[in-house]
Structure 1
Amino acid sequence: MSVAREPTADTLAWSSPTAAAVTTMVQTLPAVDLATLESAAGLLTRVDRKYIVTLATLERLVQGLGEEWRALDIDGRRLFGYTSTYFDTDDLVTYRAHLQRRRKRYKVRVRRYTESEQCMLEIKRKGLRGVTVKERQPHPAWQQAELGDDAQRFVTDTLGAYIAQPTSALRPVVVITNRRATLASLTSRSRLTIDTDLTCGWGERILTLRSGHVVLETKVEDHASTVDRMLRSLGERPAPISKYCVGVASLGLDVPHNPWGRTISRYFDNPPT
């Protein structure tokens, strides 16, 4: 099975009504700078839960957060662009591991932060009891769609004892773009990310999150967070969504995508060409 090799164009050079609404909501919260957030609630080892909700639900959630919650603010901005290139083998070993819900599974990506042009190589592994472990290192911005020698060593050293197959066969497969606001409770070490303007795929083969919806991700060390309980009280349940797997589903390859089919049909569209 062959996959594309070139990066997609940046689709974050515009603003949307959904992004504007999210910005307005998170501006009601006190600010926290990046250094404080990372030291108090970095959460590289955590439990993640994802939700897809409407702007109306998000507004009720934000209004109900306690006084300890803060919004990440960098130079007066509260919403930041991300472009993430995900790597897999030609036969999609990491995708199939997620499809089959294997206990040991991982993702390798290079994430570019649009405003700063900085890049990070990130490896996310599923650990015991569903805990996510993330390890990362800086990555050259000009090399976003490839793993050079240094990055390959990092991937091999990180995953060498974790998986059986060689990691040298990893290639770029899917690009995810989104805008993100990050909220944090510095007292309970909890985080909430809010993604808008989400696209998943490659080139013209992409799926876009429908206008008026956002993807929420709660991140906490070892238990359901206050936000999870609030979302439950609002009638929301965790959604079966993997942005990478949604991206693979958009490519038209001969691979199953049943676990995400209902989520895709309910919340995603093919943009007009």
Structure 2
Amino acid sequence: MSATTAVAPHARAITLEELVATAPLLTRTDRKYLIPTSRLDLVDHADPDLRLLTIGGLTTHAYSSTYLDTADLTAYRLAAHARASRFKVRNRSYLDSGLTFLEVKTRSARGETVKDRLDLSLASRGEHQRFAPTTVRLRTGHEIGPLTPVLEVTYDRTTYYLPASGSRVTVDTALTWRSTLTGRTLTLPGHAIVETKTTGRPCELDRLLWRDGVRPTRLSKYTCGLALTSDEPLHHNRWHRVVRDLQGLAATTTPSTTTL
């Protein structure tokens, strides 16, 4: 997964500016899949005009997300009980460029993902402090208390644009979770999280994966990662199958580190 070993070798480059202008998709339908990296060749057949995000000659980019929650894990618990007014808050860093955004993800009335973001390089201290509580209140009606870091997630991401459907596809590999509450760390070698981001209807990659027997899964990097790295049992009925699958892939490497 590099500039010379991309999953889709025939894909033409697309710049970040072109991608944002063509398919911003800040309100969208997301479908996630957990698949072995050996099956990523399916991406190559998703669109004859497949485009590959290329920035500074790089086609795979390092990401780091720090998820924030309240002391009683309000964001996690709302998600665990499938509340329509659930939210996630994270600091998202693009390690290759040095950019960092504070992001709030919520759900629209139609069940679509809505993402609001604040560029921290341009924000004042006051804007930084107000952005998440204000956005959560306006989007969900929840008044939330102070937020603190609870989970760090790092991974390498390759992003594709499918012109035929106006969709994006992200392929995340080398995933690592680290709980800031317990210090426990898990990694995910040999598997990728593939996510399709569409305006609603399934894109061709969704259909290719379905025909290959791969179905969407409720795989949230935040909620599943927190459940897996917690020292105390957290309610995770909604993600029982995927958490079980991830636990089945696990192999302990040290008393505090698990490899998935």
TM-score range, shorter chain: 0.7 to 0.9
1:228 aligns with 2:199: no
1:184 aligns with 2:161: yes
SS of the residue aligned with 1:244? Answer: helix
Instruction: Label 1:269 to 1:98 Cα distance change in 2 as closer, same or farther (>3 A).
Output: farther
1:30 aligns with 2:8: no
SS of the residue aligned with 2:169? Answer: strand
Runs of 5+ consecutive residues of structure 1 not aligned to the other structure: 1-18
C-alpha distance in structure 2 between counterparts of 1:219 and 1:22, whole Å: 25
Quote the offset at 1:106 in angstroms. Answer: 0.8
2:194 equivalent among 202, 210, 216: 216
Runs of 5+ consecutive residues of structure 2 not aligned to the other structure: none
The answer for the alignment partner of 2:96 in structure 1 is 115
Percent identity for Structure 1 against Structure 2: 36
SS of the residue aligned with 1:71? Answer: strand
Correspondence 1:67-106 to 2 at 5 A: 67-106=48-87
What amino acid maps onto 1:122 in structure 2?
Answer: E
> Could you tell me the TM-score, scaled by structure 2's length?
0.87
> Could you tell me the TM-score, scaled by structure 1's length?
0.83
Correspondence 1:187-206 to 2 at 5 A: 187-202=164-179, 204-206=183-185
SS of the residue aligned with 2:139? Answer: coil
What amino acid maps onto 1:58 in structure 2?
Answer: L
What amino acid maps onto 2:153 in structure 1?
Answer: I
**1:15-63 deviation per Cα after TM superposition (whole angstroms, max 9, x unaligned):** xxxx46994324431110100111111100000010011122211x123
Instruction: Label 1:232 to 1:22 Cα distance change in 2 as closer, same or farther (>3 A).
Output: farther
C-alpha distance in structure 2 between counterparts of 1:262 and 1:22, whole Å: 35
The answer for the alignment partner of 1:163 in structure 2 is 140
Greater relative contact order (Cα < 8 A, sep 6+): 1
1:253 aligns with 2:232: yes
C-alpha distance in structure 1 between counterparts of 2:249 and 2:21, whole Å: 35
C-alpha distance in structure 2 between counterparts of 1:41 and 1:134, whole Å: 14
1:137 aligns with 2:115: no
What amino acid maps onto 1:194 in structure 2?
Answer: V
